A and B are shown apart, each in its own frame.
Chain A
Amino acid sequence: MTGAQALLEALKIEGVETIFGYPGGVVLPLYDTLFFDKRIKHVLVRHEQGAAHAADSYARATGKVGVCLATSGPGATNLVTGIANAFMDSIPMVAITGQVATPLLGRDSFQEADITGITLPITKHNYLVKKVEDLPRIIKEAFHIARSGRPGPVLIDIPKDIFTNQLEFKYPDKVDIPSYKPKYDGHPKQIAMAVKAIAAAKKPVIYAGGGVILSGASKELFELAEKCRIPVTTTLMGKGAFPETHELSLGMLGMHGTVYANYAVTECDLLIAIGARFDDRVTGHIARFAPNAKILHLDIDPAEIGKNVRVNIPIVGDVRRILKVLVEKVDKKDQHAQWLDQVAEWKSKYPLAYRAEGGIKPQAVIELINELTRDRETIITTEVGQNQMWAAQFYKATKPRSFITSGGLGTMGFGLPAAIGAQFGRPTALVIDIAGDGSIQMNIQELTTAVNNRLPIKIIVLDNCFLGMVRQWQELIYDKHYSHTQLCNNPDLVKVAEAYGAVGIRVTSPDEVRPALEKALSINDRPVLLDIVVAKEENVFPFVPPGQAINEMIID
């Protein structure tokens, strides 16, 4: 068979059902094969970045490896932001790019770009296929590397002639990479130390990150928290790892975290970090982060241990496996009632709040979305900026893989293609993209993809005529110099939605919000965009100014 046929065959064996892609010159032979082979659904996007984000989000929504496909040169470079996005958030993804034919490599040929070189720092690994016989092994390894250990994106660059060359297809059963053997079980000695530390703690806090979701450890996290009565704060990536409606939930911590999460972390005597990486948006001033705490760090990636903070008890391994053992072994007699009272007091004294008056409040919109979707299987995707932070604060995620957002890279334009990817991954879920008027335009072309596939996704644009988060910093830190952040000459987003064949609804007064949302939720055969004109200069609070400790928040 040909290399192209072998590729599709291998994808099938790897369990791939849907790929997101865009054709071009050097991938013509592959698209020709796809024309006849209908076993894999190919979703045609309108920009390769959309394909990468959709594949990334498909992976986040399903736990499977997402796959995207692009041609050489500009097609491949257009994937770059999406690959970097998946890399920063440790998302299993395989990106397949076409490349100029092997005799033309390195000659600055038409649409040639050194994509393996370009993506070196933003992939877990990458491959340039030089012989067609290597293709099956490389695909096998790529999927294995993407989904095992700390997951991440892997890129396979395939020259045009490889697609047409013939090979005898035999897919390897096993992967054998002597230099890649991730460690899954936590060291028993370290676990014993952790058990002791938990038993002795008087003010423990769990700080759970995206690793809990990636390893499917929500149940074990829940058991640990309940058994030992430990309050849980999550990172942005960890949203949904622990039900935010639970009494032990502290919501999100960090720059826009809740007051009570930030106070609890600052005051705690044991910080149990699980699948989290002490990002600067979480820690604030690093030397003053959890200053009184012993730090227990569970992570699959040894390089995360001690990268940003000193760690007292590291446990390297799959957090689900470690937590399983930990839950079994912990025996906590002291249920630290005083600490829980203290946390409860902070919670009631400093709830997440906003002033209700003054036009449509974005926070109120999120609260309403939360109320209207509570009984349905819902996936929230977000763009990046104020919309993302309000969503993170006011949407109460109760299940893993229900809150999909660009955490590490902070990619504006992620939310819409992410909604598309999530909807393909989970067709029965209600998918809502919470967007801003800035970010929605960064991948607005993907409305076509959503319309053509009759995806009933809801796009909620919190339209404040500003690049809101940057404006907020300009207001608070740069003396209100609103340098290039006013977006008042935006196009009419309702008309834009309609032009694409979606439903567009504008909402301008607070009493219209509920009926508009209800209407949007009732439309099932196409995307709906709600352009909600919100209070223009609303800020996201709490806010830890850059360089401050996380208990030094501006609250309003």
Chain B
Amino acid sequence: MKHTISVIVENRPGVLSRVSGLFSRRGFNIESLAVGVTEDPNFSRMTIVVEGDEQDLEQITKQLYKLIDTLKIFDLPAEKSIASELVLIKVAANDKTRPEITQIVEIFHARIVDVAEGSVTIELTGETAKVEGAIKLLTKFGIKELVRTGKIALLRDSVA
């Protein structure tokens, strides 16, 4: 099962390698990881998607807390959080396929950020399922390059 956790850490050099090193040496797989500074510049927030059962999640959380630089960890279950990721997709395109691609872009509320002779580059944000749906539809045109930020998420205040 996939879990999304949010880890607040001291914003210091080396913290990322402490966290990622912990995952690899304890045998946990990181599906995605996104890091950036929080509202307080002394701290960074890491949003980590990790595969494992409940027990794994408990052990990951406890081990992360042991790192001196870890301030707080939140589990972000899908129903209680708002999650999004950003993806840039460079799709092969020609005069024939461009209209169909444009249509898909509109349906997904994405946007085209670059157009060239043989390709268009699409910027898309949204939940993982939406991103993957778009990628699936675009695959047939030929995806030349793709980059994803990994998921970022926050707890919803509206759900107790």
Contact = CB atoms under 8 A, between A and B. Distances in A.
Contact of B68 (A179, A302, A306): A179
Interface string A302-325: 110111000000000000000000
Contacts, number: 34
Contacts of B21: 120-121
A306 B17 contact: no
A179 B10 contact: yes
Nearest to B68: A125
B66 A179 contact: no
Interface string B53-79: 001001100110110111100000000
Contacts of B10: 179
Given A121-B21, A306-B55, A307-B59, A145 B68 contact: yes
A117 B71 contact: no
A302 B62 contact: yes
Contacts of A301: 66
Contacts of B65: 302-303
Contacts of A128: 14
B18 interface: yes
A179 B70 contact: yes
B62 to A, nearest CB: 4
Contacts of B71: 178-179
B7 to A, nearest CB: 11
B14 A116 contact: yes
B25 interface: yes
A125 B10 CA distance: 13
A396 interface: no
Contacts of B25: 121
B50 interface: no
B17 A120 contact: yes
Interface residues of A, number: 18
Interface in B17-64: 17-18, 21-22, 25, 55, 58-59, 62-63
Nearest to A149: B66
Contacts of B58: 306
Nearest to B10: A179
Interface string A156-186: 0000000000000000000001111000000
Nearest to A128: B14
A178 B10 CA distance: 9
**From DSSP, what is the main secondary structure of chain B's interface residues?**
helix
A179 B65 CA distance: 9
Interface in B120-160: none
Contacts of A277: none
A177 B10 CA distance: 10
B9 interface: yes
A316 to B, nearest CB: 10
A47 interface: no
A124 interface: yes
Given A120-B17, A121-B25, A303 B68 contact: no
Contacts of B63: 303
B106 to A, nearest CB: 45
Interface string B2-20: 0000000110001001100
Contact of A120 (B9, B18, B59, B70): B18
Interface in A178-206: 178-180
Interface string A33-51: 0000000000000000000
Nearest to B24: A121
A88 to B, nearest CB: 14
A331 to B, nearest CB: 33
A178 B63 CA distance: 17
A179 B62 contact: no
A181 to B, nearest CB: 10
Contact of B59 (A116, A145, A180, A303): A303
Contact of A117 (B9, B17, B59, B68): B17
A124 B17 contact: no
Given A302-B62, A303-B59, A303-B62, A180 B68 contact: yes
A308 to B, nearest CB: 10
A64 to B, nearest CB: 21
B121 to A, nearest CB: 35
B17 A303 contact: no
A298 to B, nearest CB: 16
A120 B17 CA distance: 9
Contacts of A145: 68
A120 B25 CA distance: 11
Contacts of A178: 71
Given A145-B68, A303-B65, A306-B58, 5 more contacts: A124-B68, A179-B70, A180-B68, A301-B66, A307-B59
26 contacts: A116-B14, A117-B17, A120-B17, A120-B18, A121-B21, A121-B22, A121-B25, A124-B68, A128-B14, A145-B68, A177-B68, A178-B71, A179-B9, A179-B68, A179-B69, A179-B71, A180-B68, A302-B62, A302-B65, A303-B62, A303-B63, A303-B65, A303-B66, A306-B58, A306-B59, A307-B59
Closest 6 interchain pairs by CB?
A: A303-B62, A179-B71, A125-B68, A180-B68, A302-B62, A303-B63
